[in-house]
Every structure is written in C-alpha cells, then in structure tokens.
Amino acid sequence: MINLANLTKRYGDRLAVDDLTLSIRPGAVTGFLGPNGAGKSTTMRMILGLDRPTSGTALVCGRPYHEIERPLRTVGALLDARAVHPGRSVRGHLLALARSNGIPARRVAEVLERVGLAAAAGRRAGALSLGMSQRLGIAAALLGDPGVLMFDEPVNGLDPDGVRWVRNLMRSLAAEGRTVFVSSHLMSEMQLTADHLVVIGRGRLIADAPLADLLVATAVLVRSPHAGDLAVRLAAEGCEVVRRAENELVVTGAPVERIGDLAHEAGIRLHELSPREPSLEQAYQELTADSVEYRVSEGSAR
C-alpha cells in the first residue's frame, strides 16, 4: 500500500504538489492522471525518495522509501526507461540490481522470460529501442517480486501487441493482490486497464474514485419507428431530446428505466434503449478543464 499525507513540494515560487492526501490500495490497478505539469512525476519521485517533500509524508508499506531495507523486494518502479548504463548488457543491468538487493541471480532469467527479452539478454541496454527499454524497465520493477509496483507511462514506444501485454500484466499483478500505480496520458488504455483513478491538476487532488463512478451514464440512446411521437412524450416529462436520425433519439434527464416505462405507457414500440457512457477522455477533460497549465489555442497551428 502507498499512503500520502498532506504531501507538498515547492520549487522556489512554484507549487508542484499541493497538500496531496490519498491511499493507493492493493488488489487494484490505480491509474494516475493529470495534465502536463500537474505534479504526477514529482509525486512518484517523492514516493521513491528521489525528491524530498517540502512537507507531508509518502509511505510505502508504512515506511518512507529510504528506510526500506533491500527496497526492490518491497517496491518496483519504472519511471524512466532510458535510465540504464548504456554499456551494460540487458542481463548485466538486471544482475547488478539483483546483487545490490540480495536477489538470487536465477530471478534475472525469470523476469527476462516474463517480459519477452530472453533472446535479447546479451544485447547492450543502450542499443535497445524505446519499446524494448520499456520492457527492460518493467523487468527491473518485477525483479524483487515486490508487493508494490509503480509505472510512469509504461506503454510509450510499444506496438499494439506490447500495449495489450502491458495491460494484461498490470491486471494480473493486481489480481495477485499487489498495489499497482500507473501514470499515463492514454485515456483509452486507462479505461481498459484501471480499476480506480486518481486525477490531479496543478498539484491538487481532483478525483479519487473507482473508474465506474467517473463513467456515469449521462444520456440514453433510443431507437423507435415512432421516434417523433416518443420525443413529444419525453419532452413533456422535462427530458432533453436530440433527434439524431429519423428513428433515433438521444435523451438526457431521465434514466433508462423511466424512458422505457414512458414508451410502454404510450404504446410506442422500441428497437433500442441503451445508456450511453462517456469515454474516460470526456470525463477527464471535464474534470481537468480548469487545471490545464499548457493550453494551445485551436488556431495556433495554422
């Protein structure tokens, strides 16, 4: 588990993280979202002891990172896939990490196999593609078989098969009861991967909720051969109705059950009645609309 209490970080006059309090619990994939400059990377660096908080605390399994003996056995992290000695081999990089944390050398072969780099074990780490470097970074995070795992943009540089592999890996790690904390800008991927979301903007907490709670249905799609008659009936009930096609309506202001009841009472046949959930991208944009620090105007690229 990761616990943050009133975590704050200032760089001169700039407040990067502002009084952040939250818990990242085991058994779930927690997505960490926010605009550029929101403080996500700074928060992760403070959890791992790479940056010192101005105030507040960041604890991993109840302790500050610097107090954890053999930390790779407790928390594994990928923050920068290129942060390796370029002259070392893939195997040599992982062996050095294993020896520094009292991890058996046989574990290196196990994680290389798991991330699909067994055939590249002898290659120089500095010669790897970004996608292969990401896999090496994930292998390093898994090396100590830790209960807490943190990943910052782990799918950058991966092809579609690699993205799907990371998604399945994250979910399988959470299913084993581990704490999995993943930062990403890919909303569609987070919607497929995360169970819980933490959203920050300008260093402050905006949302800390299950994914399902942020994707509340806001409209209902209705198809009927008598769409016009139904639109009149729904409008009389105070619903907002948009006619998208001759037989198709998008209705807001009433749950799907009420719309079905109204159609039944009016003797109107339905061909479809389904809630329309917003995408995570839509929900995210609404949550962070006032927190975007680097905004580009629509016409600036012309």
Give the DSSP H or E segment for 95: helix 90-100
DSSP letter, residue 26: T
pLDDT digits (tens, 9 = 90+) for 164-215: 999 999 999 999 999 999 998 888 888 899 999 999 998 999 999 999 888 7
pLDDT digits (tens, 9 = 90+) for 107-120: 999 999 999 999 99
Residue 226 has pLDDT above 60, yes or no: yes
CATH number for domain 219-276, candidates 3.30.40, 1.10.3470, 3.30.70, 2.60.40: 3.30.70
Give CA–CA dist 132/277, Å, rounded. Answer: 35
Q: pTM for this one?
A: 0.80
pLDDT digits (tens, 9 = 90+) for 86-136: 999 999 999 999 999 999 999 999 999 999 999 999 999 999 999 999 999
For residue 267 the two structure tokens come to 């003797």
pLDDT digits (tens, 9 = 90+) for 238-265: 999 999 889 999 998 888 999 999 999 9
Closest CA to 162 of 259, 81, 254, 104: 81
Give CA–CA dist 140/112, Å, rounded. Answer: 9
pLDDT of residue 302: 46
Superfamily of segment(s) 2-213 = P-loop containing nucleotide triphosphate hydrolases (3.40.50.300)
Domain map of the chain by residue range? 2-213, 219-276
8 Å CB contact between 18 and 169 = no
